[in-house]
């Protein structure tokens, strides 16, 4: 079975600084997708960024980018120029031939 590990239960970052959230996963599948979701206090899960496993180029969405290391099964999220609105729970998720598998989450605090 696929597993997703987020080793940082909590992180904090100063406003305007950069922070990296870690995620590793385990799978024997070759075709899969990886996602980062954001869950603010409103509880609405928001898709931040996705990465196709067959693509070597790292995905980027505005201030959010990933460092995808397929051989190491690592998928970290970098948030640049952090803003107060980035404060939330962040979940890493894996999707192959089975439903989405989530990590346990990282709570990100942004300090003004």
The residues that touch other proteins, with contacts defined as CB under 8 A, are 6, 9, 31-33, 35, 37, 42-45, 47, 50, 52, 91, 93, 95-97, 99-105
- Rounded to a whole number of angstroms, the minimum distance from the CB of residue 60 to other proteins is 16
Output 41 or 112, the one with its CB closest to other proteins: 41
Output 49 or 79, the one with its CB closest to other proteins: 49
Please give the angle made by the CA atoms of 107, 4 and 41, to the nearest 5 degrees. 25
- Rounded to a whole number of angstroms, the minimum distance from the CB of residue 57 to other proteins is 15
Output 14 or 62, the one with its CB closest to other proteins: 62
- Rounded to a whole number of angstroms, the minimum distance from the CB of residue 77 to other proteins is 14
Give the pairing type, strands 10-14 and 106-111. Answer: parallel
Output 17 or 26, the one with its CB closest to other proteins: 26
- Rounded to a whole number of angstroms, the minimum distance from the CB of residue 16 to other proteins is 28
Provide CB contacts within 8 A for 101, sequence distance 6+. Answer: 1, 2, 3, 4, 25, 93, 94, 95
The dihedral sign for the CA sequence 62, 78, 93, 71: positive
Cα(44)–Cα(59) distance, integer angstroms: 23
């Amino acid at each position: 079975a696929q597993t997703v590990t987020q080793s940082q239960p909590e992180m904090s970052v100063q406003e305007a600084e950069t922070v990296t959230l870690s995620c590793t996963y385990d799978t024997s599948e070759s075709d899969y997708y990886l996602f980062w979701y954001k869950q603010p206090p409103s509880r609405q899960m928001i898709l931040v960024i996705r990465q196709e496993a067959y693509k070597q180029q790292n995905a980027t969405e505005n201030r959010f980018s990933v460092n995808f290391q397929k051989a190491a099964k690592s998928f970290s999220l970098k948030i640049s120029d952090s803003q107060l609105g980035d404060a939330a729970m962040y979940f890493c998720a894996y999707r192959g031939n089975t439903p989405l598998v989530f990590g346990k989450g990282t709570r990100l605090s942004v300090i003004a």
